[in-house]
Amino acid sequence: MSYFDAASSAPLHPVARQALLASLDEGWADPSRLYREGRRARMLLDAAREAAAEGVGCRADELTFTSSGTRAVHEGIAGALAGRRRVGRHLIVSAVEHSSVLHSAELFDVTEVPVGRTGAVSARAYVDALRPDTALACLQSANHEVGTVQPVGEVAEVCREAGVPLLVDAAQSLGWGPVEGPWSLLTGSAHKWGGPSGVGLLAVRKGVRFSPQGPADERESGRAPGFENLPAIVAAAASLRAVRAEAAQEAVRLRELTERIRARVPQLVADVEVVGDPERRLPGIVTFSCLYVDGETLLHELDREGFSVSSGSSCTSSTLTPSHVLKAMGVLSEGNVRVSLPFGAVSEEVDRFLEVLPDAVARVREKLGAPAPAVAVREDVLVVDALGKRCPIPVIELAKVIGDVPVGGTVRVLSDDEAARLDIPAWCEMREQEYVGEEPADQGSAYVVRRIS
């Protein structure tokens, strides 16, 4: 089985396993106690904090261990906003942040900064979003779905000039290196770099106004209540140091493998859009979307072939809505596949993935090609009634009939699936047809496409 979903959770690094087992014997006592066992545990905790702080690029007394990366985000946002409550409750986030950031933002007055088609923000957009009552800005270091690296340094400078702290969610990038720029708060998650799950990091720079929320607790500077999971913390710090030692060499190797996927997939599979920035991206992530493909079905097909991958397709979501990241980027969402290679992934596994992918996509397309489109002609406009059908079916039916109208003629696709709002324009761009726009309909919406070739 080839595990290609490291962006969700990386396999436990061998160094993390060794450190975890060793600290189970040495670090079980309460590190706040003064007897021998407590002192030994305190030494392990202090050493882990020093090592993790070195990896983050902050002082040891600026770093707090939390129970998860999500908890670090929640505590960081709540504490920073509470510390600057006299300024206001306005929060700036990018439209492609991790759900932990977006869910926290729902509690405040929030402005979402848009992204371009590659998934990147611009520093200018953050300048435009700043207000007198802006208490905090948030920006991920790199996107978890498409791998695009954000201009954190530029945005951090903008925020510093405005006197607004910037919180950086560095969960995806921390294993590759420290985050550059004058950020104010930073969060991370150990299981993203090969540490154990259940350990997060929250760094708060000296001078940043911060007020921990919830009941007071004497542990972790009051920022993360509860008894420390010392064995997991030690393993997290040890694995961060270990992956950093390998990062430069491994980045070159994994980038070559993902470049191979980016180049070969459009050659092997028709009607594919590779998404994310082609250059400013994490080394191990490559994401693409396939027209006329159900994302969940494709993931099952690849799983049967021995590959574990993930998807941002609407078809893999219980809400049947597209990934908020793909939606913000305005790219094709159907048949979406994210390949995120773990440290140590080998070339032969990538080659085998490229061998099985075309047949897997073909099988899914064959399964979905059966429904016959419901077509009618009204006033010289071809109408495709795809109401009640989920993407990619509306796009498949559009593709079947576009040749039935003359050049310059239009097709009106009726659909009540949210994903069609992204996938039909994306299909037009890929197939060099003109997307006229969306119109209201008695049910759902009407998406108008003009044939130009």
The catalytic residues are: 315
Residues forming a β-bridge with 303: none
Q: Dmax over Cα atoms in the chain, in whole Å?
A: 88
CA distance 286 to 41: 41
The continuous run of DSSP H or E covering 264 comes out as helix 230-268
CA distances from 201 to 10, 75, 186, 387 (A): 17, 11, 8, 47
Single-letter amino acid, residue 27: G
Backbone angle region of 163, left / alpha / beta, with phi > 0 → left and psi within -120 to 50 → alpha: left
Question: Residue 392: how many CB atoms within 10 A of its CB?
Answer: 32
Inter-helix orientation angle 36-56/14-26, to 10°? 150
CA distance 179 to 254: 20
Residue among 452, 437, 422, 416 at smallest CA distance from 325: 422
Q: 392: cis peptide before it, omega within 30°?
A: yes
Tokens of 19: 């450190």
Pinpoint the alpha helices (H) of 113-229.
123-129, 152-162
CA atoms within 13 A on the CB side of 295: 28
Residue among 94, 242, 219, 73 at smallest CA distance from 155: 94
